Every structure is written in C-alpha cells, then in structure tokens.
C-alpha cells in the first residue's frame, strides 16, 4: 500500500514551526508495519493544495493530510478536498452539536466562524476528535483514500492512533494485531546494537518480527514490532525474542517502552524509601533537572549542589579545603560523596565531578569524569574519559551519572565500559 | 521566483531523524526575502527521486535538493540528477584532489568508495564544501536551476549561506544587500509583540523592511529584514526602525541577534567581576543548567543548590529550621537568598522558590513563584503566579528567574509584569 503524507500550513512551509508531525506519523506507521512513500509540504494556498491533493490522488493508495481544519479563513482543507473530489460541502449536524457542547462545558461561547469546522465534503466519513473542535474526516479522491487530520500535535496523535491506523491496517490486509516493544539502552552505539541483535528477527516465524533503531545521543532506542493473528499469538511470538534481546543487550538496557532512565532510577529509590543527594560540576544542574521535578521526586530528592570550582563543593558541604587540591582521585571523589551524604542525611549520594581538558572547544576536546555513589556503608567510584567537545562530554556525563546510579540500585556492575569512553 | 525544497533519505522519510534541515532552509530563505513554495520528502529510492526531480523541474524556477551525496550505495542524488537531465556523470578532478587532502590532513586513508562523491553530472557547477567530503553542485534540469546539498546540517548551513543564497538572490533580481536583525523578548506573547510593532515596517521606504515572529515559549523572536542597495543604504534604513523597536519593546528585549538571555546575564556579571549563587526548587536545576556550563561561567558561577523541600534549603545553607515553616513570604525568601550569599560569599544571589498548587497535573494547574535577588546591601523579591500545568510553570519560572536577574543587573524594573502571569 502506497501511503503519502501532505503537511499543510504557512507556518510549517516557512519553517516558522518545526514540523514534528511528519516524523511522528511516519514513525507510528512504521511501528505497525506500514511505510510512507512520499511526503509533501505546502502552504495555505488554494492552487498548491489542489495540486498536491490531485498528485497524491493519482499515485497513492492512502493519503494523510495534516492541518488546515481550523476556524479561520486560511484553513482550507475541507474546501479544497471537496473541490478535488468534485463534491459540495455540507453541514455535519452531529459535529456542530459536539462543538457547541465543547464550548458550553468550558463556559465559553462558540464563535460563528467555528461553524466552518463542521462543514464536510458530501460523502465523507467523520473521524472523531475527542479533545478539540477540528474533527477529522476520510473520503475518496481519485483512487486514494484521504484522511484529514488536525495540525495540533496532541489531537493528531490521538486521531492517528485511534481512528486512522486501524483503518489503514484494515485496508492493507495486514493482520490487525500488532505489538510494539521498545528497549532503551545507554552505553552502546547504534551499530553495536544492530550487530548484537543480528538474527533475532529470524526467531519469529514468517517475518512477523521486525527490528528498528533510533539514536538520540547518548541513548539508542530499539523497536521490536511483532505481527500476529491476535494478542495471544503475538505474546507467543514475542516471548522468545524478548528473552533473547534481554540476554544480548544485557545490562545496557536502561528502560523499556515509555519508561525513562531517570524514571527507573526514581522508582527504584522510592520503592525502598531511599533518598538522594547529588553533587555535579560541568553537567551544571542537568542531572538534577532530569530527576528532581518528576512527580514523586519531592519525597526522594534531598538536595543537589552545582559548582564549577571544586573548593566551592568543600564550602557547600563543610569539608576541609585541603582535600581537593591538586586534581581528583578516587579518595577525594569519595570524600565529597560522603560529605554530601552526611550533610543531607540522604540514604544515597551521587557525585559527577568533571575535569575538562584545557583549551578551546573542539571536536576532540576531552573530559575526565569521576562518578561516585555512596551509601552509609559503601562507596563505588568509576573514572571515565569522554572525547568529543564540551556539549558531547556534558550530555554524555549526565547519562553516565544516571546510569551508574541505576546499575548500583539494580545490583549490576557499575564499572562496565560504554562505547563512548576512551582510555 | 518559485522555489522548491526536496529532502531525500530513508531516515528523514521514516521519521527516524527529525527533519530540521527543511525548516532551517525555509527560514534562511525567508530571512533574505525569498519564499519556498513547495516541499517534498522522498526516500533513497530511484523511482521516487526521479519523479520528484521531474515534477520540480516542471513547476519551479529553483530547487534545493538536500541529502544523498554520501559515499554509500544508497546515496543517489548525483546519479538521478544526471538521469533527469539526460547527461552522464564525470569525475571532477578538482574535488577528488580536495577530498584526498581532506583525508591526508586527518591522517586517514581515503576509502575507494569516496571517489563516487567526486562524480558529478556533466555541465554542473561545483558548490564548495569546506568542512566535508560531499561537494554540492548546481545544474539545470528542465526549466529549473537545481542546487544539490549535503544532508549533514552544519555542512548544509554553510553551503546554503555562502554558496546558494547569493546565487538565488542574483537569479531573483532582488537587491543583494540584505540585513537580518533579531530581537529576543521575554514576557510578551507573539500577538502582543505583533501589535506593539504595528506600523513599524512603514518607517522604511518602498517596503524594504519586513517583520517576522517566531515563538518558542516563553521567548518570542522578532526578525527584521532590511533590503537595500548596499550596506550604507541598509544602515540608513535600519537606524530609525531599530530605535523605534527598542522604544516599543522596551525592557522586554532580553538579547539580540545570536546572544541569549543566559549569555547576557553571564556577560554582565563577568564585566564587573561579580559572582553568582543560585537556589532553586521545582525548576530543579534547569536555571543552573542554562548558565553554569557556558565558557567563562567557571569564574562567575559559585554554587547552585537544588531542593524540593524547603527545610532542605535551610540545612544546605545552615539556616535555622523554623524560618520556613508555614509557606513562603517575602521575608523568608530574602532570608534564604541572604543565606546563600553568606555561605558562598558571592556578590549576587538569585533564588527561585516555587509553591506548586495541590493536585494532579492539568492544563490549569498553577504555581506561585518567589524570585529574589540579593547583594550584600540590597534585596528585591517578586511574587508571580503562572498557570498552565507542571511543565509550563517550570519552563516559565526558569526564564522568569533569569530575566529578573538581567533586569536587576541592567538597572531595569524587576517587577514589570509579563503576560504569562496571573493574579
């Protein structure tokens, strides 16, 4: 099935807003085994919209159009859709009533121009939008089925998932039962993960399993899509692959599905009634910023200290000045961590202390990272080197610190080397 | 002049990477007064590329193609360009030599498949890439001039600015002297800024000034494009507009051109040899993370303290526990700020303390923000309310805190209300 996406709107065409809807739709479709073949971006322009609809109607089987369903005069999708199909617009009474109650519930009066949003091409099928005033609709233009969707991302996402994906799967003749399982790793590159998982797809029969990867430094997301006749069939196919993937990626899996590394760390601390103190230098508050605002963190996160000069840590923790002179080592890193533990009375302390190499920022600038975790009767320190410039080091060290803590809390080796580290 | 952009590559088509190049190109062209009329996204697919090139060749005057210039077999731009124009590929000796020296300088051996990157369609014009192995090229296909560019963002950006924009301006017949001036504001919405600047464009003759806006909460970027015959003409036109914009946006201008709010704050502190202490709660380290890693911050940023529970601030600063019981007020906020000043011996302390409303996250969840700035002999506190859910409050408070400090350092009123605040 040939699927096209048409993104509309001057703000998207001019780059005034970054078009994240296109990639989102494309990924969501790929996750259920459907491929997008062509993407078009046009502005709020009658001629361009009509041309785009006609071209897509000729060459595609299904087309998703995003945007142009709003109440203002530059929202043209319904009008041009009707023109392309050679039909009239007609008021959809059902949607008008829905819109009116939408406004009533919010104690607002519906403006007369919202009525336009209930004008749909004759013969089109309404696609519900439970969270906005722009309903979607589906209709045939030429040989293609068109799906019209709102530009507001959260409205699009819900409509795509609940209304459009099931219709596309039904049209494509694919088995409609599909499951997407996601594994997030830290410490491996995309090519490492790809290589480690070679042959895993073949553990499921008939090509019903597909692997995909997405890198966002320093994490890699591995996506496993399983197709089957029903949920039970999928579960049966998934089990051996899931077990194998866990063996192969092992300790590098930091979180699964919608979970995050920081969420996993926080949950683990909360589960045991633990509390956390944090000391960071060049990561400059970024580690705290990942954790401390999360719901529930107020009961776990005790205190974070951010400094750029090591003597300032001593002062903040009430440690003797002398202990940090002349560069870092394991003893000093542990003294700082124990100091943080003592001052905050937290059960756990994490310190990420960075010695940035001298000189201007450049591709091969390096940093030495001292990561320490301490509890009242234990302390582990890991020394790491990352090369790649200031931002690369900073972002890498944030993840490294959080991952060391995850490993410690999960009883996994804190010292296991990541591919980002040098000597 | 009708300009189209064609983005190529499976990673972009499948949404595996978010396509930021499209919006970047579109914005850069708009900044110099050129409009993009159509955008196309296709994968690394011979048939789709050929169709995309032919369609664009029919309807556009100029086409920018992005991606597909790499050394691997799925990089097809040169090959399909030659096919679309009905010409052969020929080795560009000049670029081959350039590539070889590129590798030699990096002590690496050029792989044989890099040779492919020097194969260009007969009759094409080379577009230099001083920072990569993928040269660009320009050629006619049908009635359109095509510009082929590398997918790596920094290589694209430089080639667009140095090689392609001047060629497009020359073809469009526009005066080639153009200046883009940018103003960043905090505390006003896009519609406020738009309204405040009504009529400003008319201060320049013959429509030679154009205003544009870009919102990234909570900042608004105002772009002023001036066209003229030469730099002197532009300067003459710019001066009265620039003066008028400064009057109208006034204290809300936080930075200009490539400067940032945090950069302005840091520079102002550094200029006077000042130093900074920071205390933050629900912003959770995000204020520190904006400032403390910047080059030069190591001499200004003393210490940041992040907590979620107010008693933890007392403990970290060695203040008596009693002072923070029963909610915040100005006196308590100032006691904390003075405590931070005392403990760190910084010249300036900024505290951003947030009382988040009770209950689950929702669109109308609010927070009360106490922002205080203290020096040894002065203290100012501003109480603000922001509604809009956890993330909205958190991001708004980060900017509010940094902006209060900017205003204080620049001698501007710290209490001036922003549009984001509620009673």
Domain residues of chain A, as ranges? 3-172, 177-256, 261-422
Which of the four pLDDT bands, split at 50, 70 and 90, describes residue B282?
very high
pLDDT single digits (tens) B163-198: 999 999 999 886 667 889 999 999 998 888 999 999
Contact B18 A18 (CB under 8 A): yes
Instruction: Please list, in sequence order, all residues whose beta carbon lies within 8 angstroms of the beta carbon of residue B10, skipping any fewer than 6 positions away.
Output: B16, B43, B44, B74
State the pLDDT at residue B419: 83
Average of per-residue pLDDT values in chain B: 93
Q: Which residues of A touch B389 (CB under 8 A)?
A: none
Percent of chain B's residues with pLDDT above 70: 98
Contact A278 B19 (CB under 8 A): no
> Least CA distance to A30: which residue of chain B?
B14
Contact A293 B25 (CB under 8 A): no
Chains A, B: CB contacts within 8 A come to 198
* Residue from B283, B293, B336, B395 whose CB has the most chain A CBs within 10 Å, to mutate: B293
Q: Global pTM?
A: 0.87
Instruction: Please list, in sequence order, all residues whose beta carbon lies within 8 angstroms of the beta carbon of residue B396, skipping any fewer than 6 positions away.
Output: B217, B218, B369, B386, B388, B420
Contact B22 A41 (CB under 8 A): yes
Contact B291 A309 (CB under 8 A): no
Average pLDDT on A18-24 reads: 94
- Do B164 and B129 form a contact (C-beta atoms < 8 A)? no
Contact A22 B16 (CB under 8 A): no
Contact A315 B344 (CB under 8 A): yes
Which of A27, A291, A297 is the closest to B15 by Cβ?
A: A27
Give yes or no for residue A188 having a pLDDT over 80. Answer: yes
On the question of a cis peptide bond just before residue B218, with omega within 30 degrees of 0, the verdict is yes
Which of B41, B295, B303 is the closest to A307 by Cβ?
A: B303
Minimum mean pLDDT range among A127-136, A312-321, A409-418, B330-339: A312-321
Q: Rounded distance, CA B370 to CA B355, Å?
A: 8
> Least CA distance to A12: which residue of chain B?
B23
Average pLDDT on A51-77 reads: 95
Which of A14, A16, A344 is the closest to B315 by Cβ?
A: A344
Contact B316 A344 (CB under 8 A): yes
- Do B304 and B278 form a contact (C-beta atoms < 8 A)? yes
Which of B15, B38, B307 is the closest to A22 by Cβ?
A: B15
CATH class for the domain made up of B261-422: alpha beta
Which residue(s) pair with A4 in the sheet? A38, A63
Q: Fold identical between B177-256 and B261-422?
A: no
Which of the four pLDDT bands, split at 50, 70 and 90, describes residue A325?
low
Q: Which residues of B touch A315 (CB under 8 A)?
A: 303, 343-344
Place of tokens 């760190």: B344
Contact A278 B306 (CB under 8 A): yes
Distance, in angstroms, between A288 CA and closest chain B CA?
Answer: 5
State the pLDDT at residue A175: 61
> Least CA distance to B221: which residue of chain A?
A16
Let me know how long chain B is. Answer: 423
Q: How many helices (H) and strands (E) does chain B have?
A: 14, 18
Which of A27, A302, A305 is the closest to B303 by Cβ?
A: A305
**Architecture of the domain made up of A177-256:** 2-Layer Sandwich (3.30)
Give yes or no for residue B353 having a pLDDT over 70. Answer: yes
Contact A306 B306 (CB under 8 A): yes
Give yes or no for residue B52 having a pLDDT over 90. Answer: yes
Distance, in angstroms, between B91 CA and closest chain A CA?
Answer: 31
* Residue from A308, A314, A336, A362 whose CB has the most chain B CBs within 10 Å, to mutate: A308
Percent of chain A's residues with pLDDT above 90: 78
Distance, in angstroms, between A91 CA and closest chain B CA?
Answer: 31
Which of the four pLDDT bands, split at 50, 70 and 90, describes residue A323?
low
Which of the four pLDDT bands, split at 50, 70 and 90, describes residue B16?
confident
Q: Which residues of A touch B288 (CB under 8 A)?
A: 284-285, 288-289, 306
> Least CA distance to A2: which residue of chain B?
B48
State the pLDDT at residue B232: 93
Which of A16, A289, A307 is the closest to B286 by Cβ?
A: A289
Distance, in angstroms, between A52 CA and closest chain B CA?
Answer: 9
Q: Where are the alpha helices (DSSP H) in A272-413?
A: 286-291, 310-317, 330-344, 390-410
What tokens does A333 get?
Answer: 């890193």
State the pLDDT at residue A106: 79
User: What letter does residue B108 receive in the DSSP assignment?
Assistant: -
Which of A19, A214, A394 is the closest to B293 by Cβ?
A: A394
Which of B12, B40, B288 is the closest to A285 by Cβ?
A: B288
Q: Rounded distance, CA B168 to CA B170, Å?
A: 5
Give yes or no for residue B257 having a pLDDT over 60. Answer: yes
Q: What is the CATH number of domain B3-172?
A: 3.40.980.10
Which of the four pLDDT bands, split at 50, 70 and 90, describes residue B324?
low
Contact A285 B306 (CB under 8 A): yes
- Do A145 and A80 form a contact (C-beta atoms < 8 A)? no
State the pLDDT at residue A316: 84
What ipTM, to 2 d.p.?
0.86
Which of A18, A39, A289 is the closest to B23 by Cβ?
A: A18
Contact A307 B306 (CB under 8 A): no
Which of A18, A308, A343 is the closest to B298 by Cβ?
A: A308
Which of the four pLDDT bands, split at 50, 70 and 90, describes residue B321?
low
Contact B14 A37 (CB under 8 A): no
Instruction: Please list, in sequence order, all residues whose beta carbon lies within 8 angstroms of the beta carbon of residue A363, skipping any fewer than 6 positions away.
Output: A388, A389
Instruction: Please list, in sequence order, all residues whose beta carbon lies within 8 angstroms of the beta carbon of residue B183, skipping any fewer than 6 positions away.
Output: B221, B222, B224, B245, B249, B253, B256
- Do A285 and A423 form a contact (C-beta atoms < 8 A)? no
Place of tokens 């392609």: B164
Q: Which helix H or strand E contains B391, and what residues bound it? A: helix B390-409
Contact A15 B23 (CB under 8 A): yes
Give yes or no for residue B323 having a pLDDT over 70. Answer: no
Contact B287 A288 (CB under 8 A): no
């Amino acid at each position: 099935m040939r699927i096209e996406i048409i993104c509309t709107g001057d703000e998207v065409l001019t780059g005034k807003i970054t078009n994240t809807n296109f990639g989102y739709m494309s990924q969501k479709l790929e996750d259920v085994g459907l491929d997008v073949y062509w993407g078009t971006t046009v502005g709020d322009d009658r001629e361009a919209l009509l041309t785009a609809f006609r071209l897509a109607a000729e060459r595609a089987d299904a087309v998703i159009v995003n945007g142009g369903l709003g109440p203002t005069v530059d929202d043209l999708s319904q009008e041009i859709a009707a023109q392309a199909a050679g039909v009239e617009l007609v008021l959809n009474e059902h949607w008008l009533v829905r819109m009116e109650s939408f406004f009533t519930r919010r104690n607002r009066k519906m403006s007369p121009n919202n009525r336009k949003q209930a004008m749909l091409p004759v013969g089109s099928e309404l696609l519900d939008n439970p969270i906005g005033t722009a309903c979607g609709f589906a209709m045939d233009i030429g040989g293609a089925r068109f799906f019209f969707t709102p530009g507001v991302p959260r409205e699009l996402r819900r409509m795509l998932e609940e209304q459009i994906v099931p219709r596309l799967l039904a049209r494509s003749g694919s088995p409609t039962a599909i499951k997407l399982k996601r594994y997030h790793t830290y410490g491996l590159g995309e090519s490492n993960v790809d290589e480690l998982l070679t042959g895993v797809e073949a553990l499921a029969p008939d090509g019903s399993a597909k692997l995909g990867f997405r890198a966002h430094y320093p994490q890699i997301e591995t996506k496993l899509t399983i197709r089957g006749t029903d949920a039970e069939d999928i579960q049966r196919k998934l089990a051996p692959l899931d077990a194998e993937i866990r063996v192969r990626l092992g300790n590098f899996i930091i979180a699964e599905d919608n979970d995050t590394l920081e969420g996993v760390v926080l949950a683990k601390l909360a589960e045991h009634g633990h509390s956390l103190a944090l000391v960071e230098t060049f990561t400059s508050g970024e580690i705290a910023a990942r954790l401390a605002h999360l719901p529930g963190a107020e009961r776990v996160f005790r205190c974070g200290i951010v400094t750029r000069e090591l003597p300032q840590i001593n002062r903040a923790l009430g440690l003797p000045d002398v202990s940090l002179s002349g560069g870092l080592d394991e003893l000093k890193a542990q003294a700082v961590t124990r100091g943080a533990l003592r001052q905050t009375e937290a059960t756990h302390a994490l310190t990420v202390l960075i010695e940035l190499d001298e000189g201007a920022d450049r591709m091969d600038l390096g940093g030495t990272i001292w990561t320490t975790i301490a509890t009242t009767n234990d302390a582990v320190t890991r020394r790491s080197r990352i090369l790649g410039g200031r931002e690369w080091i900073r972002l890498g060290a944030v993840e490294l610190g959080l991952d060391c803590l995850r490993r410690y809390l999960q009883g996994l080796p804190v010292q296991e080397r990541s591919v980002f580290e040098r000597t």
